[in-house]
Amino acid sequence: MTWTDQTQAARTWFESLRDRICAEFEAIEREAGSDAAFEYTPWDRDTEDGSHGGGGVQGKMKGQVFEKVGVNVSTVSGKFAPQFAATINGASEEHPEFTATGISLVAHMANPHVPAVHMNTRFLTTQAAWFGGGADLNPPIEYAEDTEAFHARLRAACSAHNPTYYERFKKWADDYFFIPHRNVARGVGGIFYDHLECEDMAAFERNFAFTRDVGEAFLDTFPKIVRARMGTPFTDADKATQKEWRGRYVEFNLVYDRGTLFGLKTGGNIDAILMSLPPEVTWS
């Protein structure tokens, strides 16, 4: 079956989630006395044969609370390069065609007591069709209650759909967001899932509903954590800890992250792909 209508439905949802997240983040900036706002930059995907390959909108804000936050939505289509196609679910050298739509968010915070965060959800079609995504918390200075609140909200979202989801997807996040050469986790985890297959419309609706709930869980819990921590006093030593931790974050995203590789291999917008990189970082 073709998935044009379903891709459009997913795209519409991702764009609406983007709008609500950005509005909430701007509201937090107002509460801190800042007039920072998102700047939106549309981009088109170039293809080798000159055909329309879709594109997206990069949203970026630099404020008093959010030192750098990017919220990107894209919908792209085309053909994978032959070798890369072999690594993608449902694609092959003979069938390299794909469509992909999704939202991707990374926030790096000014106050080191406020955790950085990553969230993305997506719908892809090749010869198969599936949803993937997740969210994970990345505190330079961990607060156990923040970690528990974040995981509890994701656990609730998972449990509403399948009693096995949370433990499966938490472990997937723990395994995925790990830096082997440092032998450390990137953060305190969350959930990560991929290849939730849509064999038919019933499976699409089921997996789409779960993916929407992941987005709602993020929007419900992360702003509460930000508001609780953004006024915490911090020292130069705290800031140095944050910058060193950010170095680990950079290492993971440039060496191991599949989303970074996917964007680069499919001709995505470089600024949007690398928006996950923090504004200031150190290595010791």
Q: Where are the domains of the chain?
A: 4-276
Q: Which residues are 121's β-sheet partners? A: 103, 133
More confident residue, 79 or 118: 118
**pLDDT by residue (tens digit) across 202-249?**
999 999 999 999 999 999 999 999 999 999 999 999 999 999 999 999
Active-site option among 108, 113, 118, 151: 118
- Other C-beta atoms closer than 10 Å to the C-beta of 258 total 11
**pLDDT by residue (tens digit) across 69-79?**
999 999 999 88
Alpha-carbon Rg for the chain, nearest whole angstrom, is 18
- CATH number of 4-276: 3.40.1500.10, 3.20.20.70, 3.40.190.10, 3.30.930.10? 3.40.1500.10
**pLDDT by residue (tens digit) across 135-181?**
999 999 999 999 999 999 999 999 999 999 999 999 999 999 999 99
Q: Is 52 a known active-site residue?
A: no
